[in-house]
Structure 1
Amino acid sequence: MKKVSVIIAVYNTEEFLVECLDSVVNQTYRNLEIILINDGSTDQSTAILNEVARRDERVICIHNEGSKGVGAARNLGLDQATGDFVYFLDSDDFIALETIGRLVENIGEYEMLTGKRIRLKNKEDSKIDNMVGEEVDDGMEIEEGEEKVEDAQVHLGRGVQRTFRGMSALHILFSHDFIKKNQLRFSEKVDCYSDLAFITPVIKKLDTFPFLTRCYYFKRRRNDPISNPALMQLDREKKVSDFLLIYNHLQDLYGTDERVSSYLDWLFLNIYRKQVIMIFSDNNRIGELFNELATAVEKVDLSKTKKLNVVVKRELKLLQERKTDSYKKLIGFHHFARNTKRAVKGRQKLYIQLYRSVFMNKPLKEKTIVFESFLGKNYSDSPKYIYEYMVKNNLDYEYVWIFNEPGKELPGNAKQVKRFSLAYYYYLATAKYWVSNSRLPLKLNKREGNVYLQTWHGTPLKKLVFDMNDIYSANPNYKKHFFNQSRRWDYLISPNQYSSDIFRSAFKYEKDMLEFGYPRNDILYQNDNEEYISSLKERLHIPRDKKVILYAPTWRDDEFYEPGKYKFALKMDLKKMREQLGDDYVVLLRMHYFIADDIDTEGMDGFVYNFSKYDDIAELYLISDLLITDYSSVFFDYANLKRPILFFTYDLEKYRDTLRGFYIDIETEVPGPLVKNTEEIIDAVTNIEQVKVEYQDIYDEFYAKYCAWDNGKAAENVVKTVFGTDVKKLN
């Protein structure tokens, strides 16, 4: 039985490494030499590698002091390899359990053999045992062009591009003799595209590139390209610079070979159109790469570029002639034409183009403030209370509120603008100040001089953004998008020291933190009196002779229709609660603003009141005698009132251990009991005075830690800090 040397370069991939190694050590083909090159990892990867080497005698583990790059790591692996065949695997990917066996069985006299690559969207798609010999699940995305090819003898030109279009040596079983005979090595001069130095001579030497069906390699898409990016998630400038370096080098070595030259030119033209042109959307950056790029274009056979549009062909010609000024003008026209073409495809695209090219060039309105709360869904939260404080004190500003449905009753004379209307883009482009409690769209470029006050919308219980290992939401680019959106924040409001510490870590936030408590909680101190609460109940048509239970759950990351539209199944038996609690209580429902479903309360009139679309939850806190929640941050705010709280945690294990994880121990630190079903809810409500006594000490500690900064003056302190030069009269 022939031996296969599996070479895996490892650098800080602890999150995925166990699964990768399990997929190799458990291969049905057993005659393996598993060479692990630890390229200076600083996380727990070293411990994981040492453990697998201890357990499996087939494993050879080599530790580099400091990172030398993936090319150097793989070359070191080649130096150690003694197998008949060599197979490369990335440490954040994995393979089906029969993959290597199938490759060995079918390689025959070929010098190499590859199979199907499948790109995974997130970690929850990793189900090795279910994938052996199976076709791709619906939840996975097959890389474009990876169709089935039953005949291993494929057309040469098509075979080169299909096999090596990813510029990768991964998932290819190579004859070790072929590697040694042709002295194949990876480039150590670049971080990205180091494989090109290895595979280019393969293209030169071989005439056929066999492909085996039902032989799977699972390519993972990392969900955190900010903290620990994969090589191909590095910034565009780095990738382009590395490509130009290796392209020029390989053209000098192999450019006389028609097959290799055609392949390299094909790669260059793809990268030019998809990467280089995008870098040059900023005309000032052309000089940084111009000479290197021009040197590369001199090696391109422009006679083979007939399929390119005339503008790109002219750009390449100007590069060859090194006419910098003419090239800059043409690139400017290229982007203008590109943006114009996009703009005419739809109203929103047109508005975005107007935002960037017209509105952002207008003078900045120094006295204009744009407010938005919960993506324009309502008039609420800290933006509301900051606005009302400014109106009450007659501050001289032009106020603009963004709503999905304008026509709200607001104090003052604020202009109401429909979200995503032309006016929306105009005011956001020209207003000096933005005030929002959630993220504004990525497409809204922030101009110089603009001040963005991010109020946020809760004390974190659930793990946030960069403190989360896995992403189970509808958007696999969540972390990347969040990072880019949050770079625009100039101020971030924090309700307590605990939140400040988490915000710094989870948001990677380094600018000004306003540690005053939440303006939205001011009302809980200013209006916690019988007169105000009674009038509020009357306005909301809530019986004044009954106590009020507020149920305010959060959303579940994995239950969604589409990005931003989440499901929720009510687990509370309202009928049973009405039977046993209806004489003394009513229930108010307040769902999270992400939840798309309308909760069915038919037959519950007089007992259940659905206030899910009510703008201001702080007012519902005031009229409630008791809160029931789950993993929502509402209980941190409600605790300011020092009223009882129950935690309906029917799916605690799944939510805590799989979906999000918590910052605190919810089973010991929260100021109230955890209940798992309707019967336990009813029992706790019936004996609420006993519950209060039992949890009094925990509640006091909780209040001191999370509520101490709130005192009814948060809005005042925020306004004086952010708009200080205009509010001196308030001091």
Structure 2
Amino acid sequence: MLYLERVCDKGYARSESSSYHTTITQLDRTPLVSIIVPVYNVEEYLPRCLDSLVNQTLKDIEIIIVNDGSTDNSQAVIDRYDRVYPHLIKPFLKENSGAADTRNFGISRATGDYIGFVDSDDYVAPDMFQKLYEKAVETDSDAVVCRYYRISERLGSRIPNIIDKSAFGCSVVEKPVIILDSRPYLCNKIFKRSLIIDNGFHIPSLRLCEDAAVVYPLLLAANKVEFVDQPLYYYQVDRAESSVNTYDNRFFDIFKAFDIIRDFYQKHGGLQVCFDALAEQCRIIIFIRLRALRYFKDRKFVNLFIRTAYKYLNTRFKGWRSNPYYKNKPEYKKYHGMMRLFFSNRLFLKFYLFILSAIKGGSKDGGMKQGLIPCIKNTRIGGLLFWLLGRSNRQARKFAKFYENKELLENHIFYASFRGEEFSGNPYAIFRYLYNHPDMRDFRHVILTDNKQNPRVIPYLNDKRVIIVSPSDDNNYAKYSETSRYLVVDSSLSPYYIKKKEQVYIHTWHSTLLKTLGSDTDYIWETHNLGKSLLDSDYFVSPNRFTSERLFKAYYCDALYKGKILELGYPRNDLLIHANKEDVRKLLNIPDGKKLVLYAPTWRGTVTKPVKNSDILIKHYESIKSGLGDEYAVLIKLHHMSEKYLMRNQKEYVAPLDIETNVLLAAVDILITDYSGILFDYLITRNPLILFPFDKDEYLLHRGGNKDFYLDLNDIPAVICHTSDEIVDTIRNIDKIAGKKQAYYEEFAKRFVGNDDGRASERVCDIVFRGKDAISACDFSDKQKQDLLIIVDDLDDLRITSRLLSFLDNVDYDKFNVSVWLNSIHSNRTVQRKFNRNVKMFYKSMRFMCLNFREFKSVRRLLKNGLTTDAEKLGGFFRRNMNRNFAGISFDISVYYTGKSELYSMLCLQGIDADKKVAYWHGEKPLSTFKFYDEIVSTNNKELPLDGIAGKTVSRDAFESNFARKP
């Protein structure tokens, strides 16, 4: 018998308050899946959980709800659902005995072919159990695993990475990495009931890691473990009562759990082959708890757990520090940076925890760096050292220096493609045109690139007309970006870049929009620097009206933009139109008579959390290639955000980097893509197009937001396929299938690439460099509206933010454009998400930019002493730091809403060009700068104790009524 722990007889009974339904239908029906839901004091979350279960697309299920003696109203919730769904729900009430015992009770009452578990504070996708069950039956697997979302009210949702998806479909002994990729939870899995019952598996009565203690033995006992590559379970991680957030002596149950696991694997012959994977999983769980020790005040307990943890790892999993999963895997190499050093030795760890405990007011989420750095910076010498030695401060000084002190280099053009990560697309096409044109030979070209071996850079390395600058070369990056007369950018520049009035900034962007961006996702703060780049531009080169309208709105720039929009087509498409197809085929070694198929998927994830593993994309490519056989040549072209994370052995699959993407498209007979803007450029060829949105739901969840795509995928003149086999069948019949969409194809192409005729570069250069007149293709600004800027530097004071939210909800947005400037992208994001959707949000870009030490000292004195003669000399500092966001932009009214900081007050007074300046006073000690405002808005009934402001004070209601919607 595979014995872990027996369930004791507790005298369980079906809930007496529930009617016992025993219809003939129920008695005859054998459920396909039994879903066990243990319940204890979760009345707030339980309805959401049960709603997700009673609405499952798999109908032949039973939902076994076991109330473990809840003292709240959970039983009333269970009774309500039992009355409505008696054919699905089997409710039970028992005395409290803990989660493990409750689940064991549920197992003993289960009758389904498979068993799944759902925690009552979590919820599941509508098709979770259908997909898991179908995968189990299709593959005859004892266990099936799916991906899941970690849901946090503070941090949002994320999907944990998988190391090796291809390992699934095997047994754990064949592929031990399954241990790591399955995760130590019951809730994202189903198991064959016979596997559990016939082998006597029970969940041990532990207070922590009881899931892991049965999950890993079950995985070993399973004939094989299959995988559904979709996140179907929603795991709530930040409920206060959750074991994830519990910090007490139950920590020691980790060692009991892994004793059970290790002994089971040793008994059944799996320990030797699975040792590294088990050791790594044990280390992960222990390290999570070691990090949590910073919240303990009992130092005796902390030291005991540290000593026990390292002794356990050193004895039960010898050699864990050199474990290949921990040491070599790319996913783990990056493990919390310096944290890996601290956690590798218990003495280092004790030092780390001692430092943290000594820091007052440190962030609970932060760790040593977030807690320690502010303490040092707040000292006089520490602040100076950080300002002198910190790289960000060095960068800020360099850009400030060249912004303030250097004349423009009139014949220099600065190019930045994808922030210097590439040299391609529109900047490259414009460079090619200018470099090769006879009347432009006097220009010097400055290329920002982090790769001098880029095939498009190598020919110019020793060219006197070309200067190559690395993004990491702070001095030259600042020098040439701040002093070049012209800039050609397709994304953004350093957050420290400040546009000079005399500079000419050409923003070309890099795609017609399909996937949502900026404020249309949940991650505007990740890409807010793009909004700054758009506002900086004098000319925005657009392929079509569709892109112009949506891009500027997504980054809140539509109402404030003062430049000209040139809808002239894309310069990079000149490369496509003028490329010789046969020459490109020869470069690719494509034999005559073979059709070329290109698979060009976009990247996954978000800017700060990109999905680095491209295995699934490579797998689809290989499947398509093998399915088509020798009749076709098949290449894959990845987005540069994916390419940079490729393993060395994967790079052999990718189309040659020395061929620019749009040149490559000229040779392609059939394009396969998903959500990439490359499909719009490809319309120029009029060749067949296939969409392959195999992971649409997961992709959209990563991005979040209030809409899926800017276009319905069904409105694109492409065949939509969901498997690689479908793609192969479609390509074999492409002429017949694609022909049905040909009429609409022409109409669609005219709408999106109708401006592309091979002369876009020439038209842009005629306007920018030859002085040809240009009329903006569209003007987003509404001259009838007033522009209001609100500066906020504290979103954590709920007394103030509640008033702000109320104000923003009552503004008449038909009469006012409202922009809010926040002091950080990290400012209380819960409050940010509550801002009225009409509000345009901007952020302070990184740290403040001081020109020199004298200025640095003056800023610190302002913060400490208020307005002095010394502080009044900081006009350049204030204008410089606000010009980073709003260079050349003026407002009708600027408001300093927080009213607490002399520094931010002066930014409003001297850094912003506005006809009227207003500050709020919330009752604290008034700022010395208040006397310079046109009005002070009082939110209380106190009299403002400050000379020189007579007649300037107005009530909050009186001031805000000027902006409110009229009844």
TM-score bin, normalised by smaller chain: 0.5 to 0.7
User: How many Å apart are 1:696 and its aligned residue?
Assistant: 1.2
User: How many Å apart are 1:148 and its aligned residue?
Assistant: 5.3
- SS of the residue corresponding to residue 536 of structure 2 reads coil
Report what 2:605 is aligned to: 557
Q: Is residue 518–residue 528 contact of structure 2 (8 Å, CA) maintained in 1?
A: no
CA–CA distance in structure 2, aligned partners of residues 479 and 706 of structure 1: 25
Q: Is residue 491–residue 533 contact of structure 2 (8 Å, CA) maintained in 1?
A: no
Q: Is residue 516–residue 710 contact of structure 2 (8 Å, CA) maintained in 1?
A: no
Match among 645, 648, 654 for residue 597 of structure 1: 645
Report what 1:417 is aligned to: 469
User: How many Å apart are 1:429 and its aligned residue?
Assistant: 2.1
CA–CA distance in structure 1, aligned partners of residues 503 and 754 of structure 2: 32
Q: State whether structure 2 residue 684 is matched by structure 1 residue 684.
A: no
Q: What do residues 574-633 of structure 1 show as CA deviations (whole Å, max 9, x unaligned)?
A: 55444442322111211001113326877x9xxx85226345100110111110101111
Q: Counterpart amino acid of 1:488?
A: D
Q: Counterpart amino acid of 2:566?
A: L
Structure 1 pair 338/454, CA: closer, same or farther in 2 (3 Å)?
farther
Report what 1:647 is aligned to: 691
Match among 481, 491, 500 for residue 428 of structure 1: 481
Q: What do residues 69-113 of structure 1 show as CA deviations (whole Å, max 9, x unaligned)?
A: xxxxxxxxxxxxxxxxxxxxxxxxxxx989xxxxxxxxxxxxxxx
Report what 1:493 is aligned to: 541
Q: What do residues 635-666 of structure 1 show as CA deviations (whole Å, max 9, x unaligned)?
A: 01101110011111111233246635533454
**C-alpha root-mean-square deviation of aligned residues, in Å?**
4.3
Report what 2:408 is aligned to: 364
Structure 1 pair 340/710, CA: closer, same or farther in 2 (3 Å)?
farther
User: How many Å apart are 1:134 and its aligned residue?
Assistant: 1.5
Structure 1 pair 691/425, CA: closer, same or farther in 2 (3 Å)?
same
Structure 1 pair 569/698, CA: closer, same or farther in 2 (3 Å)?
farther
User: How many Å apart are 1:345 and its aligned residue?
Assistant: 3.9
Q: What do residues 8-30 of structure 1 show as CA deviations (whole Å, max 9, x unaligned)?
A: xxxxxxxxxxxxx9779999997
CA–CA distance in structure 1, aligned partners of residues 398 and 385 of structure 2: 10
User: How many Å apart are 1:402 and its aligned residue?
Assistant: 1.3
- SS of the residue corresponding to residue 623 of structure 1 reads coil
Report what 1:524 is aligned to: 576
Q: Counterpart amino acid of 1:590?
A: K
Q: State whether structure 2 residue 450 is matched by structure 1 residue 342.
A: no
Q: How many pairs does the alignment contain?
A: 434
Structure 1 pair 536/343, CA: closer, same or farther in 2 (3 Å)?
farther
Structure 1 pair 24/366, CA: closer, same or farther in 2 (3 Å)?
farther
Q: Counterpart amino acid of 2:669?
A: D
TM-score normalized by the length of structure 2 = 0.40
User: How many Å apart are 1:349 and its aligned residue?
Assistant: 4.8
Q: What do residues 124-170 of structure 1 show as CA deviations (whole Å, max 9, x unaligned)?
A: 599558725115569999x99994579xxxxxxxxxxxxxxxxxxxx
CA–CA distance in structure 2, aligned partners of residues 718 and 683 of structure 1: 43
Q: Counterpart amino acid of 1:451?
A: V
- SS of the residue corresponding to residue 631 of structure 1 reads coil
CA–CA distance in structure 1, aligned partners of residues 387 and 638 of structure 2: 38
- SS of the residue corresponding to residue 616 of structure 2 reads coil
Report what 1:131 is aligned to: 239
Structure 1 pair 672/501, CA: closer, same or farther in 2 (3 Å)?
same
Structure 1 pair 583/123, CA: closer, same or farther in 2 (3 Å)?
closer
Q: What do residues 348-393 of structure 1 show as CA deviations (whole Å, max 9, x unaligned)?
A: 7535423322564111112211012223233310111111222232
Q: Is residue 418–residue 424 contact of structure 1 (8 Å, CA) maintained in 2?
A: yes
Q: State whether structure 2 residue 592 is matched by structure 1 residue 548.
A: no
Q: Counterpart amino acid of 1:374?
A: F
User: How many Å apart are 1:671 and its aligned residue?
Assistant: 1.4
Q: Structure 2, unaligned stretches of length 5 or more?
A: 1-42, 50-69, 74-119, 123-151, 160-233, 246-284, 299-360, 362-376, 775-967
454-463 vs 409-418, which moves further: 409-418
CA–CA distance in structure 2, aligned partners of residues 573 and 509 of structure 1: 39
Structure 1 pair 400/462, CA: closer, same or farther in 2 (3 Å)?
same
Q: Is residue 414–residue 484 contact of structure 2 (8 Å, CA) maintained in 1?
A: yes
Q: Is residue 24–residue 97 contact of structure 1 (8 Å, CA) maintained in 2?
A: yes
Report what 2:417 is aligned to: 373
User: How many Å apart are 1:667 and its aligned residue?
Assistant: 4.1
CA–CA distance in structure 1, aligned partners of residues 494 and 773 of structure 2: 30
Q: State whether structure 2 residue 517 is matched by structure 1 residue 464.
A: yes
CA–CA distance in structure 1, aligned partners of residues 71 and 536 of structure 2: 52
CA–CA distance in structure 2, aligned partners of residues 445 and 649 of structure 1: 40
Q: What do residues 666-698 of structure 1 show as CA deviations (whole Å, max 9, x unaligned)?
A: 442111111111211110111111122122133
Structure 1 pair 703/574, CA: closer, same or farther in 2 (3 Å)?
closer
CA–CA distance in structure 2, aligned partners of residues 352 and 543 of structure 1: 54
Q: Is residue 495–residue 515 contact of structure 1 (8 Å, CA) maintained in 2?
A: yes
Q: Structure 1, unaligned stretches of length 5 or more?
A: 1-20, 32-95, 99-117, 151-265, 267-306, 312-336
TM-score normalized by the length of structure 1 = 0.52
Q: Is residue 408–residue 485 contact of structure 2 (8 Å, CA) maintained in 1?
A: yes
User: How many Å apart are 1:123 and its aligned residue?
Assistant: 5.2
- SS of the residue corresponding to residue 743 of structure 2 reads helix
CA–CA distance in structure 2, aligned partners of residues 140 and 514 of structure 1: 53
Q: What do residues 400-430 of structure 1 show as CA deviations (whole Å, max 9, x unaligned)?
A: 1111122524478322222221322221121
CA–CA distance in structure 2, aligned partners of residues 540 and 667 of structure 1: 31
CA–CA distance in structure 2, aligned partners of residues 403 and 726 of structure 1: 30
CA–CA distance in structure 1, aligned partners of residues 518 and 445 of structure 2: 31
Higher relative contact order (CA 8 A, sep 6+): 1
- SS of the residue corresponding to residue 477 of structure 1 reads helix
Q: Is residue 587–residue 609 contact of structure 1 (8 Å, CA) maintained in 2?
A: no
Identical aligned residues as a percent: 25
Report what 1:723 is aligned to: 769
CA–CA distance in structure 2, aligned partners of residues 556 and 523 of structure 1: 27
Match among 488, 493, 506 for residue 453 of structure 1: 506
CA–CA distance in structure 2, aligned partners of residues 701 and 676 of structure 1: 25
Q: State whether structure 2 residue 154 is matched by structure 1 residue 120.
A: yes
- SS of the residue corresponding to residue 582 of structure 1 reads helix
Report what 1:444 is aligned to: 497
Q: What do residues 150-192 of structure 1 show as CA deviations (whole Å, max 9, x unaligned)?
A: 9xxxxxxxxxxxxxxxxxxxxxxxxxxxxxxxxxxxxxxxxxx
- SS of the residue corresponding to residue 554 of structure 1 reads coil
Q: What do residues 518-541 of structure 1 show as CA deviations (whole Å, max 9, x unaligned)?
A: 1111233334xxxx2212222333
Q: Counterpart amino acid of 1:668?
A: N
CA–CA distance in structure 1, aligned partners of residues 71 and 762 of structure 2: 69
Report what 2:751 is aligned to: 705
Q: Is residue 605–residue 611 contact of structure 2 (8 Å, CA) maintained in 1?
A: no
Q: What do residues 168-218 of structure 1 show as CA deviations (whole Å, max 9, x unaligned)?
A: xxxxxxxxxxxxxxxxxxxxxxxxxxxxxxxxxxxxxxxxxxxxxxxxxxx
User: How many Å apart are 1:515 and its aligned residue?
Assistant: 0.8
CA–CA distance in structure 2, aligned partners of residues 506 and 573 of structure 1: 32
Q: State whether structure 2 residue 633 is matched by structure 1 residue 586.
A: yes
Structure 1 pair 574/453, CA: closer, same or farther in 2 (3 Å)?
closer
Report what 1:633 is aligned to: 677
CA–CA distance in structure 2, aligned partners of residues 484 and 375 of structure 1: 14
User: How many Å apart are 1:484 and its aligned residue?
Assistant: 3.8
Q: Is residue 599–residue 621 contact of structure 2 (8 Å, CA) maintained in 1?
A: no
Q: Is residue 360–residue 429 contact of structure 1 (8 Å, CA) maintained in 2?
A: no
Match among 374, 399, 406 for residue 355 of structure 1: 399
- SS of the residue corresponding to residue 493 of structure 2 reads coil
Q: Counterpart amino acid of 2:746?
A: D
Structure 1 pair 612/456, CA: closer, same or farther in 2 (3 Å)?
farther
Structure 1 pair 359/506, CA: closer, same or farther in 2 (3 Å)?
closer
CA–CA distance in structure 2, aligned partners of residues 392 and 566 of structure 1: 38
Q: Counterpart amino acid of 1:646?
A: I
